[in-house]
């Protein structure tokens, strides 16, 4: 008998227990163990009903993703599930935690399903570029109907046990926490009532009801909008439709074909890389697993602007009290009003109750006095990018904060060590770089200074988890990982416009690649004044930052979306960028002033210049140890800048394109355009020489 799946009997119930931490994924050992245990249960004459239950934190959370890409070992999951469905005695699945993907498919192969009220079920394969490939697309519609099955399978969203019960996916939901006891009691009821095996594949009501309905066409039209550029959601739709047009086993065959198409798609590879990269990023290289983590029970935030307010919401959302500090009462009032408006908007959309809005607001205490920070565990400074002001603030924090408080800056570019030098406790100073809008964007780029202690590094990574962000720890340099690469892309995008491209042409190339918005639409969202201030700071510091037409926009008060005019113009209440003739004229005048004759620029050149300059910079970032691994860079870009997860992140994307061809192009731009940014990174040259990839590092 397999060690990960065991069989034993409890009275008249034959219990099949899966124990394969951390999430009972359906590895080869689990699949063959399930088959063996099932056979044992069938042969056990005293077992009237069989029960499938899991040890640990969850029911089976899916196929074992780590086995993807390796040769498949028999038995395959679809045949294991068919075998369960064909069992001679009723089989009950008892679900706790999350029954996901292949896990839910196993449960659908069982004849009855009971779950704890806290459980969730879902078919999230689409998020990995796949579709449920073990009967999920054929069985779920037979229980939940076309509409709900399509929603669940094309979005991958989970459904709570209560809703799953109402949809017919589950047969019973019980309170409590002991899944084995709940499962045994339910299985006993089935045995006592003498209920027969009930095969989901033989249920026809919902199939007959939705046959020929227009739901598939509606979904297809919706996906053209919502799933632009994605492969798997459309295949999911085709597979579910097959459940309505084909007999069950032909539908299974069709599902298999479509599953294999998804398996072979580069999007699947990108999404699975992104899945593991997100989890790996939380394990900081060189930081011992048992590094102590400080308790963060209260937070002070300096600055109630867009950033500070958004950051405050993150903490209030998870019940951590915040003191929000401003210098002037009206700025404080304005900041709080914006936070309230954001919460009220969520309430209007039904995402929060009014009571929750009030609870969260009550967790945010306004303040005008630094002394109020004397007992907080963490302070995050979120004022604008000015080193002198930040140093003044940190010196003040050093005076008022208790020993052991973590002093963090939300700076997006400035030197953490210089900020830390204003205090007597550089070991407690760290960067915590949130991304705009801070209450929405998932990334938290934590920046270690040269003296930041391990305990502080571990704590800020832990804080990221607590506030449901994806934390990445990076080194200290201008712009860290994200903005340092963005800065190169931005400069290149600006140069392309100087040379003859339009902002909308540049942006379209980037959105065609899969970014949700282009470089210039993003500048408008962040505020043109942000980049302008940074350039001005650098000029003041004596750096040679060339003049730009975007400086002129800022000087004219065209600050982006907030003034309804930036690189684009915006209609009242709309975020849709509209190309603006005035800006075209301003750009034309700038070119003339600079003596530039515009030329035709191809989309391919835009793609290569915007992306390869980032890759080359990414290689330098790795070389310098600012990022520990290429996956850290990928995570920064996916969660902070909307880089399409299905391309796996910029460094993974580069590996797919081939580093040799990227290096050739970088060298060509170095020869023709010049500039430090096009100087090939030594690491890139080395990897090409050795025939290796970023992912091999």
Selecting among 85, 125, 492, 608, the annotated active-site residue is: 125
> What is the Cα 350 distance to its own chain's centre?
23
> Measured from the CB of residue 282, what is the shortest distance to ligand 3H9 in angstroms?
8
Which among 122-130, 359-367, 379-387, 560-568 is the span making contact with ligand 3H9, rule CB under 6 A?
122-130
Q: Examine residue 105 and tell whether it contacts ligand 3H9 (CB under 6 A).
A: yes
Which is nearer to ligand 3H9, 34 or 307 (by Cβ)?
Answer: 34
> Measured from the CB of residue 376, what is the shortest distance to ligand 3H9 in angstroms?
28
Q: Are 640 and 489 in contact (CB under 8 A)?
A: no
Among 17, 37, 40, 64, binds ligand 3H9 (CB under 6 A): 64
Which among 123-131, 191-199, 374-382, 522-530 is the span making contact with ligand 3H9, rule CB under 6 A?
123-131
Distance from the first to the final alpha carbon of the chain: 40
Return the residue matching tokens 């999951």. Answer: 77
Q: Site map for ligand 3H9, 135-154, x if CB under 6 A?
A: -x------------------
Q: Examine residue 65 and tell whether it contacts ligand 3H9 (CB under 6 A).
A: yes
Q: Based on the number of CB atoms within 10 Å of its own CB, is 44 exposed (0-12), middle (13-18) or buried (19 or more)?
A: middle
Which is nearer to ligand 3H9, 101 or 514 (by Cβ)?
Answer: 101
Which among 19-27, 44-52, 196-204, 326-334 is the span making contact with ligand 3H9, rule CB under 6 A?
19-27
Q: How many CB atoms lie within 10 A of CB 320?
A: 19
Q: Are 220 and 102 in contact (CB under 8 A)?
A: no
Which is nearer to ligand 3H9, 567 or 645 (by Cβ)?
Answer: 645
Q: Which residues contact 51 (CB under 8 A, 6 or more apart)?
A: 13, 14, 15, 16, 91, 92, 94, 183, 184, 187
Q: How many helices (H) and strands (E) does the chain have?
A: 28, 19
Please list every residue from 79 through 98 that binds ligand 3H9, using CB under 6 A.
98
Q: List for the chain the helix, strand, coil content (%; round to 5).
A: 55, 10, 35
354-370 burial, b if ≥16 CB within 10 A, otherwise e? eeebeebeebbebbeeb
Which is nearer to ligand 3H9, 163 or 417 (by Cβ)?
Answer: 163
Residue 560: both structure tokens together: 């982006």
426-452 burial, b if ≥16 CB within 10 A, otherwise e? bebbbbbbbbbebbebebbbbbbbebb
Which among 125-133, 520-528, 574-582, 632-640 is the span making contact with ligand 3H9, rule CB under 6 A?
125-133
Could you give the CA distance from residue 180 to residue 163 in angstroms, rounded to a whole number?
Answer: 22
Active site annotation includes 125: yes
Among 41, 129, 133, 490, binds ligand 3H9 (CB under 6 A): 133
Among 5, 15, 50, 77, binds ligand 3H9 (CB under 6 A): 77
Which is nearer to ligand 3H9, 124 or 680 (by Cβ)?
Answer: 124
Please list every residue from 172 through 191 that binds ligand 3H9, using CB under 6 A.
none
Which is nearer to ligand 3H9, 318 or 578 (by Cβ)?
Answer: 318
> Measured from the CB of residue 237, what is the shortest distance to ligand 3H9 in angstroms?
16
Q: Examine residue 161 and tell whether it contacts ligand 3H9 (CB under 6 A).
A: no
Among 125, 524, 537, 655, binds ligand 3H9 (CB under 6 A): 125
Could you give the CA distance from residue 291 to residue 259 in angstroms, rounded to a whole number?
Answer: 42
Which is nearer to ligand 3H9, 281 or 567 (by Cβ)?
Answer: 281
Evaluated on CA atoms 348, 352, 353, 356, the torsion sign reads negative
> Measured from the CB of residue 105, what is the shortest distance to ligand 3H9 in angstroms?
6
Which is nearer to ligand 3H9, 243 or 496 (by Cβ)?
Answer: 243
Give the three-state DSSP class for 47: coil
Return the residue matching tokens 């020489």. Answer: 689
Which among 60-68, 139-147, 353-361, 534-542 is the span making contact with ligand 3H9, rule CB under 6 A?
60-68
Residue 544: both structure tokens together: 């040679």
Closest residue by Cα to residue 276 from 524, 580, 489, 25: 25
Q: Which residues contact 12 (CB under 8 A, 6 or more apart)?
A: 46, 47, 48, 49, 188, 191
Selecting among 85, 105, 608, 617, the annotated active-site residue is: 105
Which among 63-71, 289-297, 496-504, 639-647 is the span making contact with ligand 3H9, rule CB under 6 A?
63-71
> Measured from the CB of residue 159, what is the shortest distance to ligand 3H9 in angstroms?
13
Among 51, 61, 615, 621, binds ligand 3H9 (CB under 6 A): 61
Could you give the CA distance from residue 145 to residue 168 in angstroms, rounded to a whole number?
Answer: 9
Among 90, 124, 475, 648, binds ligand 3H9 (CB under 6 A): 124
Which is nearer to ligand 3H9, 59 or 637 (by Cβ)?
Answer: 59
> What is the Cα 479 distance to its own chain's centre?
21
> Measured from the CB of residue 695, what is the shortest distance to ligand 3H9 in angstroms?
17
Active site annotation includes 241: no
Crossing angle between the packed helical segments 136-155 and 248-263, to the nearest 10 degrees: 40
Q: Examine residue 460 and tell whether it contacts ligand 3H9 (CB under 6 A).
A: no
Strand order in the sheet with 470-474: 364-367, 322-325, 299-302, 378-381, 406-409, 429-434, 443-448, 470-474
Which is nearer to ligand 3H9, 134 or 659 (by Cβ)?
Answer: 134
Among 47, 63, 269, 626, binds ligand 3H9 (CB under 6 A): 63
Q: Examine residue 102 and tell whether it contacts ligand 3H9 (CB under 6 A).
A: yes
User: What is the full DSSP assignment across 60-81?
Assistant: --SB-GGGTTSPP-SSPHHHHH
Give the three-state DSSP class for 20: coil
Q: Examine residue 631 and tell whether it contacts ligand 3H9 (CB under 6 A).
A: no
Q: Examine residue 33 and tell whether it contacts ligand 3H9 (CB under 6 A).
A: no
Please list every residue from 276 through 305 that binds ligand 3H9, using CB under 6 A.
279
> Measured from the CB of residue 61, what is the shortest distance to ligand 3H9 in angstroms?
4
Q: How many CB atoms lie within 10 A of CB 491?
A: 17
Which among 121-129, 359-367, 599-607, 616-624 is the span making contact with ligand 3H9, rule CB under 6 A?
121-129
How many amino acids of this chain bind ligand 3H9 (CB under 6 A)? 25
> Measured from the CB of residue 77, what is the shortest distance to ligand 3H9 in angstroms?
4
> Measured from the CB of residue 179, what is the shortest distance to ligand 3H9 in angstroms?
16
Strand segments (E) across 46-156: 49-54, 91-95, 98-100, 112-116, 120-122
Q: What are the catalytic residues? A: 105, 125
Please give the residue ranges that form the binding site for ligand 3H9 (CB under 6 A).
22-23, 25, 58, 61-66, 77, 98, 100-102, 105, 124-125, 128, 130, 132-134, 136, 279
């Amino acid at each position: 008998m397999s060690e990960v799946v065991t069989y034993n009997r409890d009275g008249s119930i034959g219990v099949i227990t899966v124990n394969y931490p951390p999430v009972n994924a359906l590895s080869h050992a689990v699949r063959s163990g399930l088959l063996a245990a099932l056979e044992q249960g069938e042969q056990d004459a005293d077992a009237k009903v069989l029960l499938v239950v899991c040890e640990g934190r969850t029911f089976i959370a899916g196929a074992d993703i780590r086995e993807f890409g390796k040769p498949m070992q028999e038995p395959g999951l679809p045949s294991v599930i068919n075998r369960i469905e064909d069992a001679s005695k009723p089989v009950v699945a008892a679900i706790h935690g999350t029954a996901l993907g292949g896990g839910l498919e196993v449960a659908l192969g069982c004849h009855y399903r009971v779950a704890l009220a806290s459980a969730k079920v879902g078919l999230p394969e689409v998020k990995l570029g796949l579709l449920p490939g073990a009967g999920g697309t054929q069985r779920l519609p037979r229980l939940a109907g076309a509409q709900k099955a399509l929603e669940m399978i094309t979005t991958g969203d989970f459904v709570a046990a209560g809703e799953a019960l109402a949809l017919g996916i589950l047969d019973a939901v019980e309170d409590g926490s002991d899944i084995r006891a709940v499962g045994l009691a339910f299985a006993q009821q089935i045995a006592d009532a003498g209920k027969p095996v009930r095969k989901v594949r033989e249920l026809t009501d919902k199939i007959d009801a939705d046959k020929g309905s227009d739901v598939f066409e509606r979904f297809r039209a919706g996906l053209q909008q919502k799933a632009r550029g994605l492969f798997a959601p459309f295949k999911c739709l085709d597979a579910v439709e097959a459940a309505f047009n084909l007999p069950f086993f032909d539908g299974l065959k069709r599902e298999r074909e479509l599953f294999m198409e998804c398996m072979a798609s580069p999007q699947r590879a990108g999404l699975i890389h992104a899945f593991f990269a997100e989890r790996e990023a939380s394990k900081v290289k060189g930081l011992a697993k048992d590094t102590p983590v400080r308790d963060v029970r209260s937070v002070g935030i300096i600055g109630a602007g867009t950033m500070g307010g958004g950051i405050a919401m993150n903490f209030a959302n998870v019940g951590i009290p915040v003191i929000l500090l401003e210098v002037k009462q009206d700025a404080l009032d304005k900041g709080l009003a914006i936070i309230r408006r954001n919460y009220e908007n969520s309430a209007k959309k039904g995402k929060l109750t009014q009571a929750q809005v009030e609870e969260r607001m009550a967790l945010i205490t306004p303040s005008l006095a630094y002394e109020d920070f004397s007992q907080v565990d963490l302070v995050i400074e979120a004022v604008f990018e000015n080193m002198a002001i930040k140093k003044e603030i940190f010196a003040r924090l050093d005076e008022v904060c208790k020993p052991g408080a973590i002093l963090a800056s939300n700076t997006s570019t400035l030197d953490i060590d210089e900020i830390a030098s204003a205090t007597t406790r550089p070991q407690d100073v760290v960067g915590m770089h949130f991304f705009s809008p801070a209450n929405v964007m998932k990334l938290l780029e934590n920046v270690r200074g040269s003296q930041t202690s391990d305990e502080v590094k571990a704590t800020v990574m832990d804080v990221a988890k607590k506030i449901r962000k994806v934390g990445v720890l990076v080194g200290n340099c201008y712009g860290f990982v994200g903005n340092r690469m963005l800065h190169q892309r931005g400069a290149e995008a600006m140069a392309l416009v100087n040379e003859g491209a339009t902002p909308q042409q540049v942006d379209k190339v980037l959105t065609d690649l899969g970014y949700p918005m282009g470089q210039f639409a993003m500048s408008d969202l962040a505020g043109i004044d942000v980049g302008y201030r940074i350039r001005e700071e650098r000029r003041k510091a004596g750096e040679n930052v060339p003049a730009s037409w975007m400086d002129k926009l800022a000087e004219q008060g065209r600050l982006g979306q907030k003034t309804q005019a930036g690189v684009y113009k915006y209609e009242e209440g709309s975020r849709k960028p509209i190309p603006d003739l005035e800006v075209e004229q301003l750009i034309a005048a700038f070119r003339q002033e600079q003596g530039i004759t515009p030329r035709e620029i191809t989309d391919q050149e835009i793609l290569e210049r915007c992306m390869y300059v980032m890759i080359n910079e990414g290689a330098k970032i790795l070389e310098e140890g600012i990022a520990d691994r290429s996956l850290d860079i990928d995570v920064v870009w996916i969660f902070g800048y909307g880089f399409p997860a299905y391309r796996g992140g910029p460094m993974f994307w580069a590996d797919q394109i081939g580093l040799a061809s990227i290096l050739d192009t970088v060298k060509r731009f170095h020869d023709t355009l010049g500039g430090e940014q096009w100087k090939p990174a030594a690491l890139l040259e080395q990897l090409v020489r050795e025939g290796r990839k970023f992912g091999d590092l």
